[in-house]
Chains A and B, each alone.
Chain A
Amino acid sequence: MALLRLTSPHAHGPMSTQRVMFCVLLATVPGVLVLTWFFGYGTLINIVFGAAVAVGCEALALTLRRRPLGFYLKDLSALVTAVLLCIALPPYAPWWLIAAGVASSILLAKHFYGGLGYNPFNPAMVGYVVLLISFPVQMTAWAPPRGLGPVPGFLDALQACFNPAGFDGITMATPLDVLKLNNSFLIEDLWSENPQFGRWGGVGWEWVNIAFLAGGAWLLYMRIFTWHAPVAMLVSLALLAAIFYDGGSSASGGSPLFHLLTGATMFGAFFIVTDPVTSAVSLRGRLIYGALIGALIYVIRVRGNYPDAVAFAVLIMNFAAPFIDYYTQPRTYGHSRKRGES
């Protein structure tokens, strides 16, 4: 047998891109289960249908770009994008909304830029924002959580997706909507007046957030990503909420705990902000990147036109990531702290 001629290193670690993606998929399970418990089968149907569309789009794009299908499909990145987008979509979304969103994510945000690794913007969030701007009605139609209204059964959910005209769904303002529209109530009164508010955040939402937090903690444990960006984002969001809580007055932006456990906060922190491709690279850079996203989320939630803000905050910071990287190069071994000196 001829001896192989290879350069070092000859050993390789256990980590693979496929494994990274699979871990992310696995970590969404608790969050998806809690979502399904509170809002019914809508989310699950979203995910299954969205995943199928994503694989189709990915295969189409790879064929057009003359890339080997099997090699690229098995990295699971398209699946991750679809699952993340579909979790963010309202349950009981019509099929065309899902298809349009997934197609935007895979084709527009990913393959137009050169495929995995080359996209400057988070594909799932690009898909989400395309839908939010194009179809604001469908995108803000959230079902009431279990306990505040009826939860549709599996067949109803299927009908909602594939025969939207025949589905008569009930929608309800989310806690963030309620807070946004409030201009006269003290926080305490708002809490007692509206059934949407739970113990810490929104009813159902607080558990959804805790579930995503658990999934994120597991990913941290598995060393899929570092703590820097998500923790920085949560801290800056909580900090701003604390500063502008204003004692719970009618002008208050809501309590820190409310912000941490409502809307897409935890999902964003551990599944969107941590997207390696589009975030800052150095550890210090990730701290800045995460903190600025947290700040933007708070500002948009409280002052902007949209009730939730993760998608916009992330996309804006995607722009800034290369800039942040430029200024946060780590100090190389044997170099002095100042840039440009050795």
Chain B
Amino acid sequence: MRKIFDFHGGIHPPENKQQSLRSRIAKAGIPPELIIPLSQHIGAPSHPVVSVGDRVLKGQVIAQALGFVSVPKHAPSSGIITAIEDRLIAHPSGLVAPCIVIATDGRDEWLTHQGYPNYTSLEKPELIELIRHAGIAGMGGAGFPSAVKLSVRDDITIDTLIVNGTECEPYITADDILMRERADQIIEGAKILHYLIEPGETVIGVEDNKPEGIAALRAAAKGTGIEVASFPTKYPSGGEKQLIEILTGKQVPSGGLPSDVGVVCQNLGSTVAIYEAIALGRPLISRITTVTGDAVREPQNFEVLIGTPMRYLLAKAGYQAEKNNRLIMGGPMMGFTVPDLNVPVVKTTNCLLAPTALELPAPPPAQACIRCGMCAEVCPASLLPQQLFWFAQGKELEKLEQHNLFDCIECGACSYACPSNIPLVQYYRASKAEILHQREEHEKSEHSRARFESRQQRLEQEDAEKEAKRAARKQAAEERARAGGRQGDDDPIQAAIERAQAKKAALQSDTGKGNELQKLEQAVVTIQKRVDTAQAKLKQAQAEGSDLVDALIAGLEKTRVKLEKAEQALQIFRASQPAAPTDTATVDAAQTAIRKAMTARQAEAEMSPEQRAKTNLTKLEQRLQKSREKLEQSRQTDQEDSIIEALESTVERLTAKVEAARQAMNTATDS
């Protein structure tokens, strides 16, 4: 016999299990409509792979798993898909969620399927894939995908594999009846798990209030090396953490996983499902559900297709709606009330409890907490429930965390024991939600703060760079001015003279003419590049709806002006070239310049006649008009100063350009 450990606290509520154990498992049959929610498990909902109107066969995949922590859904019977839409599902808050609806045809036609009775010939990852593909998620309540649980990392050794057949909740007998009637399947499933995980030992844990089930299991387990351990009945010994402590004496670290103490736990129902998936090739499309409570005439266990509306299942057990005060999915301790009878049975529906008002009366109003400590005595997590209650009332969230609120498993033992009828678990749930919400908010605000700071830093850096460039330009301009003896203005002839002088000086100092040309060409290319980048940026900004659009437009405008200037300069230079080669060194600089300018004009005039100069002017005037409008608009809408300044400078430059173009046109007309 193995040593059985005790866990702190626990309660002994009336078991109420006998009434549903009087008959054998009954088949619930095929309802006219099956409603299969896409999310029946912890993790990502699955994705439908059928469309309305499709005919599906029993066992056919109708929704594919999305991601690692997810499982597929299968058609529980053959029929036609009539809808993929939101329906009410079994959820404490009465949610609607996407479901696939099948109108069954009653033929119950199977998809061809095939099992692997000789599963040891398969690689373990293949087996796990089979389990995942069969859509198996924990059938005890939480519905965690079994394949994920079984994918134990290589560096972790598992000492104990536990099959959880505790079923400590009152009323529920789904596991008990499985043990009595299908013990060999449980053992076969446990053998598959044992092969997969290779633990030191495999134990099936059962509370001692199921002597028949234990006897059946022990008989089936003979010679397999699988141990069937029974221990005293006490709620909530079926909680994963409590069961691990009972069977191994170890506690799962707070926030950790059972594998941290070398344990893997599987639900008994899931174990049978795994057997069916591997040995028979059947996906999880039905389960055992206890239908009980004083509001049903014949409480019993049903083998029911997933997706069966609860109304249909309840009717099979002789449901008396007028006597029923609330419908609970799960047991009286941790189950939740179902909002409507049309909600479908899902993979985690281990019990439908339809009590009368006499059986489970509505709770009386809460009285004052007298700090009797009965809640602390029964708490399986060794918390101080009434301290948590005081903190929850006072919204002292930090204190709640300090007192390990998040180690509460919401088993309900404290509320059950409280003599003042205080709904303690409700307080904890609300507080947990509040803390999680606060954490989320905090994270969000941290994130946006970091984003704001980095943006601020980037802007400052850009500003500094701009400032440095501006200063450099200014200095260069001043130096130029000093060197030239006077301020350069926009008169092209003057400019040409200056450039000619510069060129002459360059020539005199024996610098190649090609160099100058190269420089100018380089400048055009560079600026063209900048225009392209600016345009790309602008497009992106517009697409994102960024507030930088205006500033980018202004910047682009400036760069374009620069590009035009550079192109002009290049053209002028090129135009001056043919005239220059022979007598550059001998002719007077000013005259050369003048001539050069004249040639340039001529060249321009030849290339682009009067008409073209005019169009150029009109275009420029239009742009000027636009820029002015934009500036006006910006002023009216109180834009940032930097944007207005940029626009102002654009307008200024354009004005100058228009002026130049006019002159150019006049010159062109004159010539």
Contact = CB atoms under 8 A, between A and B. Distances in A.
A4 B325 contact: yes
B407 A332 contact: yes
A18 B131 CA distance: 53
B254 A333 contact: yes
Contacts of B374: 15, 223
Interface in A1-54: 1, 3-13, 15-17, 19-20
A330 B384 contact: yes
A19 B333 CA distance: 23
Given A8-B336, A281-B386, A332-B382, A342 B417 contact: no
B403 to A, nearest CB: 7
A1 B325 contact: yes
Given A9-B425, A334-B241, A3 B384 contact: no
Contacts of A282: 373, 376, 384
Interface stretch (A114-122, A179-187, A189-197, A255-263): A114-122
B419 A15 contact: yes
Residue among B370, B412, B423 with the most chain A CB within 10 A?
B370
A267 B324 CA distance: 49
Main secondary structure on B side of the interface with A: loop
A239 to B, nearest CB: 25
Contact of A20 (B252, B324, B370): B370
B370 A9 contact: no
With most chain B CB atoms within 10 A of its CB, the pick from A3, A283, A286 is: A3
B328 interface: yes
Contacts of A8: 330, 332-336, 410, 412, 425
B373 A9 contact: no
A281 B374 CA distance: 10
B380 A75 contact: no
Given A1-B324, A333-B380, A117 B360 contact: no
A12 B324 contact: no
Interface in A306-342: 325, 329-335, 342
A334 B417 contact: no
Given A330-B376, A333-B251, A117 B339 contact: no
A5 B339 contact: yes
A277 B326 contact: no
A279 B324 CA distance: 43
A333 B372 CA distance: 21
A329 B368 contact: no
Interface in A256-301: 276-277, 279, 281-283, 286
Contacts of A1: 321-322, 324-325
Interface SS of A by simple majority: loop
Contact of B383 (A283, A286, A332): A332
A4 B335 contact: no
Contact of B332 (A4, A9, A118, A330): A9
A116 to B, nearest CB: 5
B403 A329 contact: yes
B655 interface: no
A335 B386 CA distance: 19
B273 interface: no
Contact of B415 (A9, A333, A334): A9
A226 interface: yes
A20 B372 contact: yes
Interface residues of A, number: 43
B419 A20 contact: yes
B199 interface: no
B132 to A, nearest CB: 29
A325 B373 contact: no
Contact of A334 (B325, B328, B407, B429): B407
B8 interface: yes
Contact of A276 (B7, B333, B370, B384): B370
Contact of A10 (B253, B326, B384): B326
Contacts of A6: 326, 337, 362-363
B253 A7 contact: no
A161 B11 CA distance: 48
Nearest to B7: A333
A18 to B, nearest CB: 8
A333 B425 CA distance: 17
Nearest to A334: B254
Interface in B355-413: 355, 360, 362-363, 365, 367-374, 376-377, 380-384, 386-387, 403-404, 407, 410, 412
Nearest to B429: A7
Contacts of B420: 16-17
A274 B355 CA distance: 38
Contacts of A118: 368
Given A9-B425, A281-B386, A276 B365 contact: no
B333 A332 contact: no
A329 B362 CA distance: 33
Contacts of B51: none
Contacts of B324: 1, 3
Interface in A214-238: 223, 225-226
A16 B419 CA distance: 4
A7 B425 contact: yes
Nearest to A71: B365
Contacts of B381: 332-334
Given A3-B338, A7-B92, A342 B425 contact: no
Q: What are the 10 A-B residue pairs with the smallest beta carbon separation, nearest first?
A: A9-B412, A117-B368, A4-B326, A334-B254, A11-B332, A276-B372, A15-B419, A332-B404, A333-B381, A10-B332
7 contacts: A7-B425, A17-B368, A117-B371, A276-B372, A330-B383, A333-B251, A334-B256
